[in-house]
Structures are given as structure tokens and as C-alpha cells.
Amino acid sequence: MPDIVFIKLFSTLKRFARGGKTQFTLDWHPGMQARDILDTLKIPGTTERVILVNGRYSEPEKQIAANDTIVLFPPMTGG
């Protein structure tokens, strides 16, 4: 079994779903960064998104470990 990472897409970023799924896994590889996941999902650099890795806000350069959970959603706040 290859190592994997868990991906969850929310709100407007659901449009980058894979095979109709907004929660799925991707294969992990050594040296993997959050940026690689954005590239794999074809999320353009101009798309506003918040990247959470295991609940912590992260930049695209964030190193991803096997079994990490990566959550992607657009910036918003409530009133």
C-alpha cells in the first residue's frame, strides 16, 4: 500500500472535485508540498483558497507528511 494524504474540498472549491468526490485520498511522495496538491487538482494560482494542514493554516510551501489531512476552502467570515 502506498502512503496517502487525505483531501477535503469545501464550498466554492468543490468545483475542483475528483471524479465527483470532494473528499478523497491522493498518493503521498517524499518531499511533497501543499503546492503539489494544488497542481494535481489543477487549482489555478489566481483562485483564492485557504490551505489547512491538520487544522493549521499553511502556505503552499508547507511540507506534507504521509497521512496528513489537507482541507481547502475559500476565505470568508460570518456575521
Partner 1 sequence: MYGWRGKLLRVNLSTGEIAVAPLDPKVAKDYIGGRGLGIYLMNKEMDACCDPFSPENMLIMATGPLTGTKAPTGARYMVMTKSPLTGAITCSNAGGKFPAAFKQTGFDAVIFTGKSEKPVFLVMENETARLEPADHLWGKTTHETTDALLTQIHGNAKVACIGPAGENRVLFASIMNDKDRAAGRSGVGAVMGSKNLKAVVVNGNLPVTLADEEGFKAVTKKFSDTFRKAAKENPPALRLHGTAVTVMATQNYGVLPTKNWQQGSFDNWEKIHGETLTKKYLVSNSACFSCPIGCGRKTKVDEPGFEGQGEGPEYETVYAMGSNCMIDNLAAVTKANYLCNEYGMDTITMGATIACAMELYDLGLLTKERVGRTLEWGDAQALVELTRLTALRQGFGETLAQGSFRLAEQFGRPELSMVSKKQEFPGYDPRGSQGMGLAYATSPIGGSHMRGDPAYFELLGVPKVIDRLEWKGKANLVKRWQDFFCVIDAAGLCVFYSVRNLSNLELEILPTGILELINAATGAAYSLEELALAGERISNAERQFLVRAGFDRKDDSLPPRMTKEPLPDGSAKGSVCHLEEMLDDYYVLRGWSDNGIPGPEKLAELGLA
Residue with cell 490551505: 51
Interacting residues toward partner 1 by CB under 8 A: 8, 10-12, 44, 46-48, 50, 52, 54-57, 59, 71, 73-79
Q: Which is nearer to partner 1, 2 or 57 (CB)?
A: 57
Q: Which is nearer to partner 1, 22 or 25 (CB)?
A: 22
Q: Which is nearer to partner 1, 19 or 45 (CB)?
A: 45
Do 51 and 60 meet the contact criterion of CB atoms below 8 Å apart?
Answer: yes
Do 10 and 73 meet the contact criterion of CB atoms below 8 Å apart?
Answer: yes
